[in-house]
């Protein structure tokens, strides 16, 4: 079954290219296009969509774009993952996007493989961070430090960002599921992290493991 994807960008030529890249291998289908936040939200209200691939800045329409648009997507369609394709490199803006639940960040200046890999990673349940944007998120997270965590909290985080479920971690460490869950939540609270997407980005910054599908040079 084809993945149903909605795409949004205020430039028709970018929409055309995005559709070509997404549909090239015959595994995904673009079921709708939008050129502003309002049109995107209207599209999602009428179409059954598995994934949204959108720009951040799309002036026009009656609904705000940018962070307000991402918040509306999360509020109205919490189960639809979002891949953000952008030229923005501002650390604060990108960090806020991750906090809002964006699961993929693609830099528009990257090659087409970046978008293709982001779609595949996110549809597989993962997080994708373009290597061009990684330094920006590192800068945004410099104020955080692992020193605030207890040894057990750090141990849980290292395992969690590497892939195992809470239940599997509990079995491995011989602790209860509730204890592991509590330690994970406590660690995230101490670090000022509010969701898994931001946690995985932080894990990349601090080299806690390899939880992210990266678009490394030479791959």
Q: What is the pLDDT of residues 10-23, one digit of tens each?
A: 999 999 999 999 99
Q: What mean pLDDT do residues 166-186 have?
A: 94
Non-local (6+) Cβ contacts of 3 within 8 A are 27, 28, 29, 50, 51, 119, 123
Q: What mean pLDDT do residues 118-130 have?
A: 91
Residue with token string 């951040």? 56
Q: What is the pLDDT of residues 66-88, one digit of tens each?
A: 989 999 999 999 999 999 999 98
> Residue 80's closest CA among 56, 53, 61?
53
Chain centroid to CA 6: 16
- Same domain, residue pair 132 and 156: no
Q: Is the pTM value of this prediction over 0.75?
A: no
Q: How many domains does the chain have?
A: 2
- Same domain, residue pair 99 and 162: no
CATH number for the domain including 127?
Answer: 3.40.50.2300
Rounded Cα distance, 141 and 145, in Å: 9
Q: Is residue 196, in this structure, part of any structural domain at all?
A: no
- Bridge partners, residue 36, by sequence: none
Q: Is residue 100, in this structure, part of any structural domain at all?
A: yes
Q: Is residue 151, in this structure, part of any structural domain at all?
A: yes
Give me the half-sphere count of Cα atoms (radius 13 Å) on the Cβ side of residue 36. Answer: 8
Percent above pLDDT 70 for the chain: 90
Q: Residue 213 — very low, low, confident or very high, per pLDDT cuts 50/70/90? A: very low
Give 100 or 170, the one with higher predicted confidence: 170
Determine the pLDDT at residue 205.
Answer: 66
Q: Is residue 59, in this structure, part of any structural domain at all?
A: yes
Q: Residue 89 — very low, low, confident or very high, per pLDDT cuts 50/70/90? A: confident
Which range of residues forms the domain containing residue 164? 145-191
Assigned token pair, 134? 């990684």
């Amino acid at each position: 079954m084809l993945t149903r994807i909605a795409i949004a960008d205020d430039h028709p030529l970018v929409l055309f290219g995005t559709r070509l890249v997404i549909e090239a291998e015959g595994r995904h289908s673009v079921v709708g296009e939008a050129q502003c936040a309002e049109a995107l939200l209207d599209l999602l209200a009428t179409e059954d969509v598995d994934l949204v691939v959108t720009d951040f800045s799309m002036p026009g329409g009656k609904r705000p774009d940018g962070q307000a648009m991402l918040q509306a997507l999360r509020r109205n369609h919490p189960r639809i993952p979002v891949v953000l394709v952008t030229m923005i490199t501002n650390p604060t803006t990108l960090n806020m996007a991750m906090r809002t639940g964006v699961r993929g960040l693609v830099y528009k200046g990257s090659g087409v493989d970046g978008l293709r890999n982001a779609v595949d990673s996110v549809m597989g349940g993962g997080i994708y961070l373009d290597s061009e944007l990684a330094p920006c998120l590192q800068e945004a997270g410099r104020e955080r430090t692992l020193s605030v965590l207890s040894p057990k909290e750090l141990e849980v985080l290292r395992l969690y960002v590497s892939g195992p479920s809470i239940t599997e971690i509990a079995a491995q460490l011989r602790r209860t599921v509730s204890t592991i869950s509590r330690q994970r939540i406590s660690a995230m609270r101490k670090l000022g992290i509010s969701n898994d997407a931001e946690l995985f980005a932080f894990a990349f910054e601090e080299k806690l493991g390899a939880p992210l599908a990266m678009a490394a040079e030479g791959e």
